[in-house]
Each structure stands twice: as C-alpha cells, then as structure tokens.
Amino acid sequence: MSATPEKADDLIVVGKIFSVHGVRGEVKVFSFTDPIENLLNYRNWTLRREGVVKQVELVSGRSTQKDLVAKLKGLDDRDEARLLSGYEICISRSLLPNLTGDEYYWYQLQGLSVINQNEEFFGKVDHLLETGANDVLVVKPCVGSLDDRERLLPYTEQCVLAIDLEAGVMRVEWDADF
C-alpha cells in the first residue's frame, strides 16, 4: 500500500469496503458500479476515509451476488484488513468509459440546477437514489429556489426534458405542487 494519492478533485467514489472475508486478509466490498463486477476492472484503487488516503492494488476479486470479495496486494492478515472497513474506493474520473448520446454518470448530475417547464427553480440535485423501477433525483432547496421543499423526481425521459452540463442546468416536466 502506498500513501501517494491521485488528485482529490479527479477522484470518483465507485465502492466502499464494509467488512472482512475469511482469515487471509480479503475484504468485502459494496460496489456502486452497474453491474457490480465492473469495479473489478480497475486494478489501482485510492482508498479514502476521514482525510486519510491510501493507494492499493487489486490482485483479484469475485462476486457474491450482492457484493464483492477483494484481495489487495500485500494484505494477508484479517486484522489488518479489518482496519480498511469504512474506506471509500475511488478511481480517477479519466478511467471511466466514455458514454454515448444522452447518458450521464451520477456525479455529473449532482449540483445541477433544476428548473421546471414554468421556469420555477426547485434547487440543485443533491444525489440520486437507485430504486427498483427507476433512479430518483433528490433535489434540495438552495438560495433562490422556489421554496424550501426537498423534492424527489424520477430520473425518466418523461420527467427530465434536457440536461446542459456546461450551463449546469437540468430542465424537468414537474409541477411545483408535487
């Protein structure tokens, strides 16, 4: 493990270590990628927790259906592995595959100003939630927003009319009373 991190503003969180597996220093990982196994395509991880940053190398990994088990280079002890619990797994944004057409990574949507068809400013996208039916935008009020309500908007073609990353704006078809 190395202590030389990537630039902080270039990092994107793609998973989190939440426990240990077995006695040989493997860790259990919750993956934020879709499908979850895609996290295993990235060999160099930057681990981050409460200001502490570490560089690690993935040796191998496997899926357990709901999460992953990973073996990190130089980590052979269960007690040492336990110390990594709670660390976010980050990679450089530049490693993410390019998307086509009107596809976006969640991190690109966070912080966008949300304006409806009546030019009412709802606030900014705080984060997204994954549900069974569709993803949901969590829009939090901010200075200049219509009111102080948090709104949950479906991230669907019917609701999201346009996204302009350069302008930092998302246009939606959503009534202010919903």
The identity of residue 130, as a single letter, is: E
User: Residues 11-46: pLDDT tens digits?
Assistant: 999 999 999 999 999 999 999 998 999 999 999 999
Q: Does 24 share its domain with 90?
A: yes
* CA pair distance 110, 96, nearest whole angstrom: 17
| Residue 1 domain-assigned (yes or no) | no
Q: What is the DSSP string of 9-75?
A: GGEEEEEEEEEEETTTTEEEEEE-SSSGGGGGG--EEEEEETTEEEEEEEEEEEE-SSSEEEEETT-
Q: Does 35 share its domain with 86?
A: yes
| Residue 2 domain-assigned (yes or no) | no
Instruction: Report, as an integer, the average pLDDT of 142-154.
Output: 97
User: Residues 62-103: pLDDT tens digits?
Assistant: 999 889 999 999 999 999 999 999 999 999 999 998 888 889
CATH of the domain at 54: 2.40.30.60
Q: What is the pTM for the complete model shown?
A: 0.77
Note down the domain range covering 87. Answer: 8-95
User: What is the pLDDT at residue 5?
Assistant: 45
